[in-house]
Chains A and B, each alone.
Chain A
């Protein structure tokens, strides 16, 4: 507690902790990006075992595939990997379903929780966010069991969609709640007071206010759905998505086509991030 240290002029010499922190951040960024760069690199290596080191020449065959004149496949690239393509189709189908289910559910939950000023909100809130705190494996298993035991529905795309919606709806709900809590309640009251029906007030005042969140929640739902493995693996039964297929391939025979998919994902991410940044800049300008 020496006050002398604080006196002006007595500058602390070198801020070692600051230097250490900087070095750490640099190392950390390497830790974050190195694996991804390696993975991307291997997508262009002719080596059939994914590797960025054992270089056997540049190729884009893993993206395009290669066939000889007779149409026989020489290199199995993405066009030949029909299970990946089919899986992608399943993934998108599920993701669209998840958006259609979880956005309305999340919105309904958020409206209920922010609009009833009753004591029941505590337990209800806990119940509705609990899927976020539940291991994905449990969500997948329980959904698979329930739909088979109760309705005889075999695990498949439908159950995978429901299992994902269960927790993705919670994400959506939290986003909607954050937005609704910032809304001036008197806007809705004003609409009612001016003779609007509850439905009209909701459609004309609240819904436009929520539009940006609906878009954001849909995007998050889409990403979460496509990314999910642990829940989907159990709930999807004998069908598959792009992600579970990548998982299967990682267990039973890797091929640089996985790296090719990774590169495509990276490109999509960069493009979307750039578009997003651009739209933000435009808005502020």
Chain B
């Protein structure tokens, strides 16, 4: 560090340090910490305490209405007016207690304007007053009770809030299953991608002329200059019920489209795999190409001269040489697949089994439970990290080789 300050002077060194610090703290570290914080904070929504408070408030409202009625009756009794239209709305009117423009305000009786409710006038005001008072007292007690319950529940929930593992432990078994399956899916995509891409990387690296290599790599890159979503969209056109694939099968006589024999490709996870392999292929091809490129062609010729079969050459010479590239490709593809929202969301949404990223999405944008969503995003992050370490261990590569 001192060496650097000596070199670039204090101003430039300070600027460099400040920029890196901003990047690391504000863009990388702090956001992750915020997310982790939420992941380990349980947030009770629609819990028992909230229910109890809601109930108490509802009762409180009823009591208020009753009080209004009681006051009106009291005035009525005191005035000795009997049989006239009651000046107050009935307790059965749920909006009666609310000071709304249409309803009479307390203290401002509007005789004659409110229609008289049917059964109320049959009772003598005194008897009714009595009944209402008893009812009110009962309700007041209930309110006090449910307030106490709410308080107790709230205290319990408060104790449960703060740092806890509840976002994980309360995650439904279904979601856990989707999480596990998503890991399996991502592994499948990674393996498929390797199988598809290795021959291409090999062909590009060992092409007879540099021109051919360049052409092949260009052919690989051009679809990638397009948008990720447009690549996905192009595939949904092929896989749609009336898409190219079904039309081709129809033409071959395998299915009959006119009889509604369309195969619902988009409803299968296979199509999600296929589109993912297509979408993220470059991240597998280029690392493998990069390491195979350094493989001396003479080694392969020598092995062939010694009578080794093609299988054997790949297994013993080319693949071991491509090891770092395969590791990088696997890490990138797995990471992209496990965290991909675009492909499962846009290829036959709702038709194929859910991917975990869709669950995360729903928690953030549909049920608005950010903390649960954070916990789930954290699960994705942790599984990627574990996968990286596993691959680094299995393929014996270092972090420097991973990020080219």
Contacts and interface: CB of A to CB of B under 8 A. Distances in A.
Direct chain A–B contact by Cβ atoms under 8 Å: yes
A6 B336 CA distance: 45
A262 B233 contact: yes
A202 B232 CA distance: 44
A135 interface: yes
Contacts of B229: 229, 243, 246-247, 250
* A29, A133, A192, A251 — most chain B CB neighbours (10 Å): A133
A261 B230 contact: yes
A1 interface: yes
A49 B226 CA distance: 21
Contact of A25 (B200, B231, B242): B200
Interface stretch (A60-68, A78-86, A123-131, A209-217): A123-131
A122 B399 CA distance: 9
Contact of A199 (B12, B17, B244): B12
Contacts of B194: none
Given A50-B237, A145-B370, A230-B340, A198 B12 contact: yes
A152 to B, nearest CB: 13
Contact of B31 (A17, A33, A145): A145
B3 A54 contact: no
A59 interface: no
B32 to A, nearest CB: 5
Contacts of B196: 28
B17 to A, nearest CB: 7
A39 B230 contact: yes
A21 B203 contact: yes
B1 A250 contact: no
Given A105-B19, A247-B346, A28 B200 contact: yes
Contacts of A136: 336, 339
B12 A202 contact: yes
Nearest to B32: A142
Interface string A219-261: 0000100111110011000000001001100110010001101
B236 interface: yes
A32 B1 contact: no
Contacts of A21: 199, 202-203
B233 A258 contact: yes
A198 B360 CA distance: 49
A254 B233 CA distance: 9
A115 interface: yes
Contacts of B240: 51
Contacts, number: 269
A162 interface: yes
Interface in B14-42: 15-17, 19-20, 22-24, 26-35, 37-38
Interface of A is mostly: helix
A128 B27 CA distance: 10
A28 B32 CA distance: 39
Given A5-B307, A142-B34, A251 B9 contact: no
Interface in B347-387: 349, 357, 360-361, 364, 370, 373-374, 377-378, 380-381, 384
Contact of B4 (A112, A122, A133): A112
A109 to B, nearest CB: 5
A141 B22 CA distance: 19
Contact of A31 (B11, B20, B278, B380): B278
Interface string B378-404: 101100100010000000000110111
Contacts of B227: 226-227, 243, 246, 262, 265
Contact of A39 (B233, B247, B381): B233
Nearest to B373: A141
Given A6-B307, A165-B27, A137 B230 contact: no
B28 A125 contact: no
Contacts of B32: 138, 142
Given A21-B202, A142-B35, A112 B20 contact: yes
Contacts of A28: 196, 199-200
Contact of A35 (B238, B345, B361): B238
B6 to A, nearest CB: 8
Contact of B9 (A53, A130, A198, A223): A198
Contact of B7 (A49, A130, A188): A188
B234 interface: yes
B130 interface: no
Interface stretch (B78-86, B162-170, B215-223): B215-223
A229 B228 contact: yes
B49 interface: no
Contact of B226 (A36, A51, A135): A36
Interface of B: 1, 3-4, 7-9, 11-13, 15-17, 19-20, 22-24, 26-35, 37-38, 196, 199-200, 202-203, 216, 218-220, 222-223, 225-238, 240, 242-244, 247, 278, 304-307, 310, 331-332, 335-336, 338-342, 345-346, 349, 357, 360-361, 364, 370, 373-374, 377-378, 380-381, 384, 388, 399-400, 402-404
7 contacts: A16-B310, A33-B219, A132-B403, A133-B384, A170-B403, A198-B9, A246-B229
Ranked nearest first, the 5 interchain pairs of A and B with the lowest CB-CB distance are A135-B339, A198-B9, A35-B234, A17-B310, A108-B19
Given A24-B203, A125-B400, A272-B225, 6 more contacts: A21-B203, A28-B200, A108-B20, A112-B17, A143-B31, A251-B346
Interface of A: 1-3, 5-6, 12, 16-17, 21, 24-25, 28-29, 31-36, 38-39, 42, 49-54, 104-105, 108-109, 111-112, 115-118, 122, 124-139, 141-143, 145-147, 149-150, 162, 165-166, 169-170, 174, 188, 192, 197-199, 201-202, 223, 226-230, 233-234, 243, 246-247, 250-251, 254, 258-259, 261-262, 265-266, 269, 272-273
